[in-house]
Structure 1
Amino acid sequence: MMRLLIDTNIVIDLLSKRENFYEEAADLFSRADKNELDLSISSLTFANTNYILTKLTSAKQAREILRKFKVLVDVLSLDDKITELALSDDNFPDFEDGLQYYSAMENEIDIIITRNKKDFKNSKIPVLTAKEFLART
């Protein structure tokens, strides 16, 4: 089964129902719910999503949303090696993107799904938008 790393922006598109982006995100996660895709997110994405959701709802509601969401994804750990790789790589000036990328590399992810492809221009892993990925499948 194809393993995808879902970037934070796609998760927030889904959970906050962002206009113009929700449908594609919902389609991805629906396919994961049907066991058609193996979706992973970094633990950083989980933390950042919680932060954003607490700005849109209450902390209690944000946690409830994340509890339900967690059944759809594997949460990848950030460890010392991933952190060191991200800190050392000038190809990823945005530290968070470096963490996402090296989480994907260390966990043998097939494709990174994001709306910010330019942030991953030096990736050795294919990088697609949700729309691009869905058009291929």
Structure 2
Amino acid sequence: MPHPARRVRRGPARPDGRRAHRRPRLRHRRRPPRAERPRAVNRIAPCVVYYRDRGEWARDAQNLLFLASQGKAHLFVSGSTLTDIYYLANRYVYHDKKRSLQVVNILLDSLSVAEVGFGECLLAANSKVVDYEDAVVAEAARKAKLDYIVTRNEKDFAGSEVPAISPRAYLESVLVPE
């Protein structure tokens, strides 16, 4: 029997009588500093545009992600958007699970996640926003009390309580000289 001072702490007994080992506490990710700038949910387009280098939109998307990584903009993505980003990065950009997960990890270092739960999905089904996926993003932005939805397709969010703006318009609102 090991020395009592060196005994490993274990969790409560399971129904089958075996003891479950406690999982080590995971260190929380470094959260970006809370900027005194408008908070916005970042729609999928700016992130994917940056990684696919889609012409005129790529520069705005790059600047947007750079400002978020520097803590000068407080951006969110919805949980469902994050899975879409992984899927698109894996399917069309890298064709490699490990590199696609690195993209997600890089984004999580500088972006926050707006939670999407049962309530948001239910409200989205009855929303004035026509497309259900966009309605879920709009409801997540509303619940998180965000100022804007950053998207290339502003008209898709016409019925949203949270106003939709383009990446360039958001950048201009963040980069206003003080």
Match of 1:114 in 2: 151
User: Within the alignment, does 1:16 sit opposite 2:52 as a pair?
Assistant: yes
Report the CA distance between 1:106 and its aligned residue. 0.2
Instruction: Please give the alpha-carbon distance, in whole angstroms, between the structure 2 residues aligned to 1:18 and 1:63.
Output: 21
TM-score for the superposition, normalised by structure 2:
0.72
Match of 1:77 in 2: 115
Query: Is the Cα–Cα contact under 8 Å of residues 129 and 160 in structure 2 kept in the other structure?
Result: no
Match of 2:75 in 1: 39
1:1-137 superposed matches below 5 A: 1=36, 2-55=38-91, 56-57=93-94, 58-89=96-127, 91-136=128-173, 137=175
Instruction: Please give the alpha-carbon distance, in whole angstroms, between the structure 1 residues aligned to 2:51 and 2:144.
Output: 24
For structure 1, which segment, 60-69 or 43-52, has the greater mean C-alpha deviation from structure 2 after superposition?
60-69
| RMSD (CA atoms) | 1.3
Instruction: Please give the alpha-carbon distance, in whole angstroms, between the structure 2 residues aligned to 1:22 and 1:34.
Output: 18
CA deviation string 1:82-132 (max 9, x = no partner): 01000122x222110000000000000011100010101122222110112
For structure 1, which segment, 78-87 or 17-26, has the greater mean C-alpha deviation from structure 2 after superposition?
17-26
Query: Is the Cα–Cα contact under 8 Å of residues 50 and 61 in structure 2 kept in the other structure?
Result: yes
SS at match of 1:112: strand
Quick one: percent identity of the two aligned structures?
21
Instruction: Please give the alpha-carbon distance, in whole angstroms, between the structure 2 residues aligned to 1:119 and 1:33.
Output: 27
Match of 2:33 in 1: none
Match of 2:30 in 1: none
For structure 1, which segment, 120-129 or 71-80, has the greater mean C-alpha deviation from structure 2 after superposition?
120-129
Indicate the structure whose relative CO is greater, using CA pairs within 8 Å and at least 6 residues apart. 1
* Structure exhibiting the larger radius of gyration computed from Cα positions: 2
Paired residues, what number? 136
For structure 2, list consecutive stretches of 5 or more residues without a partner in the other structure: 1-35
Greater fraction of residues in helix: 1
